């Protein structure tokens, strides 16, 4: 068993920032190259592909990392390994490597923000846009319709990694009830490490379902 208290991250080596750097925002060139300009409009105004004012617009599909190819998913890009589901302009989503239960997903800001109060408005909007979609993804992949969304701010609130992130945690019928005194388990409980092979397969399935959810959104008639 591994405790998250055993994982010490110097500020300059934030693990969530490492993941964000490894999986750059859509419209960017590969790592260590100069990023090109890309627009990110509010979802209600977004055209899903094409150009706006001469600049390439980012599509929702491009926020889902590819399974293969030069810029495809590779858990070994980071240490420890990461299993990424989403890499958007202002956010990343990846499996918790010390999951409370199968399908435990983290949704974090791309930029290093310690607490919710530190987030910029556009970052908050993007978190709000993706959380419902990713919640549906987690529910579909795990087959569990009930879930917790948890967000901790500060050490006394059980925040271990000082970088804004939301937990999406499925609640299967076999999972014990969480009492008010047990909030620390979201940050510090004794939890088993995620198996690399299982993590890669689970993340791949989540990416597949996420693409389906995006396609459903595109098919919905506009008012």
| Three-state secondary-structure class, residue 10 | coil
Q: Is 207 helix (H, G, I), strand (E, B) or coil?
A: helix
- Rounded to 10°, the helix 121-142/196-219 angle is 110
Q: With CA atoms as reference, report the closest residue to 152 among 123, 196, 179, 187.
A: 187
Q: Which of 104, 163, 165, 167 is catalytic?
A: 165
C-alpha gyration radius of the chain? 17
Q: Clarify whether 165 is annotated catalytic.
A: yes
| CA 103 – CA 140 distance, rounded (Å) | 10
Nearest C-alpha neighbor of 206 from the set 24, 73, 89, 56: 73
d(CA 11, CA 13): 5
Active site amino acids: 165
């Amino acid at each position: 068993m591994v405790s998250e208290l055993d994982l010490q991250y110097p500020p300059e080596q934030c693990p969530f920032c490492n993941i964000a750097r490894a999986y750059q925002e859509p419209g960017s060139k590969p790592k260590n190259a100069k990023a090109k300009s890309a627009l990110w409009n509010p979802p209600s105004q977004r055209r899903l592909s094409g150009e706006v004012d001469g600049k390439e617009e980012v599509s929702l599909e491009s926020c889902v990392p590819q399974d293969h190819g030069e810029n495809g998913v590779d858990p070994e890009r980071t240490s420890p390994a990461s299993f990424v589901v989403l890499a958007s302009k202002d956010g990343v989503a990846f499996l918790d490597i010390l999951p409370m239960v199968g399908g435990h997903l983290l949704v974090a800001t791309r930029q290093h923000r310690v607490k919710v109060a530190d987030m910029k408005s556009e970052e908050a909007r993007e978190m709000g846009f993706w959380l419902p979609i990713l919640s549906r993804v987690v529910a579909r992949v795990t087959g569990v319709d009930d879930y917790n969304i948890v967000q901790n701010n500060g050490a006394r609130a059980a925040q271990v990694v000082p970088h804004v992130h939301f937990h999406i945690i499925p609640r299967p019928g076999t999972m014990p009830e969480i009492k008010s005194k047990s909030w620390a388990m979201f940050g510090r409980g004794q939890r088993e490490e995620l198996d690399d092979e299982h993590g890669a397969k689970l993340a791949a399935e989540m990416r597949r379902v996420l693409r389906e959810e995006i396609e459903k959104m595109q098919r919905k008639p506009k008012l």
